[in-house]
Amino acid sequence: MKRNAIFATLIAAALLAGCNQSSDNESGGDNLVIGATMLSMQNEFIVNVSDAMEAKAKEMGVELITVDAERSALKQVEQVESFIGQGVDAIIMNPAEVEASSPAIKLAMDAKIPIINVNSETSAKPTAFVGSDDTESARIAMKYIAEKLGGKGNILMMHGFMGQAAQIKRDNGAKDILKANPGLKLLAEQSGEWDRAKGMSLTENWIQSYGDKINAIFAQNDEMGMGAVKALEAAGLKGKVLVVSVDAIPDALQAVKKGTLDATVFQNAKEQGGKAIETAVKAAKKEAFEKEVLIPFQLVDKGNVEGFLK
Task: List pLDDT tens digits, range 120-156.
Answer: 999 999 999 999 999 999 999 999 999 999 999 999 9
Average pLDDT over residues 183-209: 98
Structural domains for the chain = 33-132+269-295 (3.40.50.2300), 134-266 (3.40.50.2300)
pLDDT at residue 10, rounded to an integer: 36
Among 101, 49, 104, 34, which Cα is nearest to 71's?
101
pLDDT at residue 94, rounded to an integer: 98
Burial class of residue 8, CB neighbours in 10 A (0-12, 13-18, 19+): exposed
Q: Is the pLDDT of residue 266 over 70?
A: yes
pLDDT at residue 5, rounded to an integer: 43
Contact criterion met (CB below 8 Å) for 223 and 43: yes
Q: What's the pLDDT tens digit per position in 34-93?
A: 999 999 999 999 999 999 999 999 999 999 999 999 999 999 999 999 999 999 999 999
Q: Is the pLDDT of residue 1 over 50?
A: no
pLDDT at residue 27, rounded to an integer: 32
- Strand-pair category, 216-219 with 298-300: unpaired
Q: Indicate the residue type of 223.
A: E
Q: Is the pLDDT of residue 254 over 80?
A: yes
- Mean pLDDT score of the chain, rounded to an integer? 91
Q: Is the pLDDT of residue 7 over 70?
A: no
Please write down the HEC assignment for all residues of 195-206.
CHHHHHHHHHHH
Q: Is the pLDDT of residue 239 over 60?
A: yes
pTM: 0.81
Average pLDDT over residues 189-208: 98
Please write down the HEC assignment for all residues of 14-42.
HHHHHHHHHHHHHHCCCCCEEEEEECCCC
Grade residue 177 by pLDDT with cuts at 50, 70 and 90: very high
Among 120, 76, 119, 124, which Cα is nearest to 99's?
124
Q: Is the pLDDT of residue 275 over 60?
A: yes
- Please name the residues in contact with 18: beta carbons below 8 A apart, sequence gap of 6 or more: none
